[in-house]
Chain A
Amino acid sequence: SSAEDAAAAAGDEEEGSSSLHPPPAKKLKVEHDKKKEKRQKVDEDEIQKMQVLVSSFSEEQLNRYEMYRRAAFPKAAIKRLIQSITGSSVSQNVVIAMSGIAKVFAGEIVEEALDVCEKWGDTPPLQPKHMREAVRRLKSREQIPNSKHKKILFH
Chain B
Amino acid sequence: MAEEEDDPGFDEDLDDGSNGVDSGQGKRKRLFSKELRCMMYGFGDDQNPYTESVDILEDLVIEFITEMTHKAMSIGRQGRVQVEDIVFLIRKDPRKFARVKDLLTMNEELKKARKAFDEANYGS
Contacts and interface: CB of A to CB of B under 8 A. Distances in A.
Interface of A: 63-74, 77-78, 81-82, 85-88, 90-91, 93-94, 96-98, 100-111, 113-114, 124-132, 135, 143-147
B18 interface: no
A146 B60 CA distance: 11
B38 A98 contact: no
A10 B60 CA distance: 61
Contacts of A66: 42
Contacts, number: 170
Contacts of A144: 64
Given A71-B38, A77-B31, A127-B50, A88 B43 contact: no
B79 A86 contact: yes
Nearest to A65: B42
Interface string B74-89: 0000011111001100
Interface in B62-100: 62, 64-71, 73, 79-83, 86-87, 90, 93, 95-96, 99-100
> 5 tightest CB-CB pairs across the interface, nearest first?
A68-B42, A67-B42, A125-B46, A110-B43, A71-B38
A96 B6 contact: no
* Chain B interface SS verdict (over half): helix
B64 A102 contact: yes
B113 interface: no
Contacts of B100: 97, 100-101
Given A91-B82, A98-B65, 8 more contacts: A71-B39, A74-B32, A82-B65, A86-B80, A100-B100, A105-B61, A110-B39, A113-B45
Given A106-B39, A129-B2, A78 B65 contact: yes
A125 B31 contact: no
Contacts of B104: 93, 96-97
Contacts of B79: 86-88
30 contacts: A64-B41, A67-B38, A68-B42, A72-B39, A73-B32, A73-B61, A74-B32, A81-B62, A85-B73, A88-B79, A91-B82, A91-B83, A94-B83, A96-B104, A97-B100, A97-B104, A98-B65, A101-B90, A102-B64, A104-B96, A106-B61, A109-B57, A114-B44, A124-B45, A125-B49, A125-B50, A126-B53, A127-B52, A128-B53, A129-B2
